Amino acid sequence: MKRATKDSVDRLVAQWRNERPDLDPSPIEIQGRIMRLAAHLQRQSEARLAALGLTWEAFSMIVTLRRRGKPYELRPTDLLKESLLTSGAITNRIDKVERMGLVRRVHGFPDRRSVTIRLTPRGRKLADSAISAHLDNMESVLAGLPAAARKQLAGLLSSLLLGFETRSSERSASSGAEGKSPSHRRKNFNGSRVNL
């Protein structure tokens, strides 16, 4: 399908074709658009969440706990894996959201060192409001795409993401098998922020 208007990625690909005709810059047409769209979507989501008094990190944490169902809790390591947060400073993020009154730490018994992060009733109410607002916003962003195109795009992006996740799992498994230290394995999990 021929597009009437060129976007910013079209322009930079054309420049590379002009400057380096020996290279095929077509992969940039996908990667560049994904990266630029992610940045636009992130900024838009953060602006909408700010109106609810939430940062992206607080939002991701409370909706992850809400999505889990009762009792709306996870261990910090599982919260990190199941949310769309990056690995850096999870304890500080939990502290901030706890100060907001949206989550609380629940210590295990008899081992008080065992801790889970539980959504408070206030956190659950805000998570319900925030996810509704977020999905409404995403719906308006995607309004120009027909349902069939959305389904196709979701499938293509899923295939691309699955490739990365499979390779990451394989690297983590082989690092563990080779006797790498736990700190080395943590460095492999450093995902970037994306939108729900």
Strands of the sheet containing 115-119, edge to edge, are 73-74, 115-119, 103-107
Q: For the chain, give every residue range classified as CATH 1.10.10.10.
A: 53-143
The amino acid sitting at 161 is L
Single out the residue of 5, 32, 44 nearest to residue 134, CA to CA: 44
Residues 146-189 have pLDDT tens digits of 999 999 999 999 999 999 888 877 887 877 654 444 443 333 33
At the top level of CATH, the class of 53-143 is mainly alpha
Q: What string of pLDDT tens digits covers the 196 residues of the chain?
A: 566 689 999 999 999 999 999 999 999 999 999 999 999 999 999 999 999 999 998 999 999 999 999 999 999 888 888 877 766 678 888 999 999 999 999 987 766 678 999 999 999 999 999 999 999 999 999 999 999 999 999 999 999 999 988 887 788 787 765 444 444 333 333 344 443 4
Q: What is the pTM of this model?
A: 0.76
Where does the chain have alpha helices with state H? 8-19, 26-50, 56-67, 76-82, 90-99, 121-141, 147-177, 182-188
Residue 190, pLDDT score: 36
The amino acid sitting at 113 is R
Q: How far apart are CA 191 and CA 111, in angstroms?
A: 31
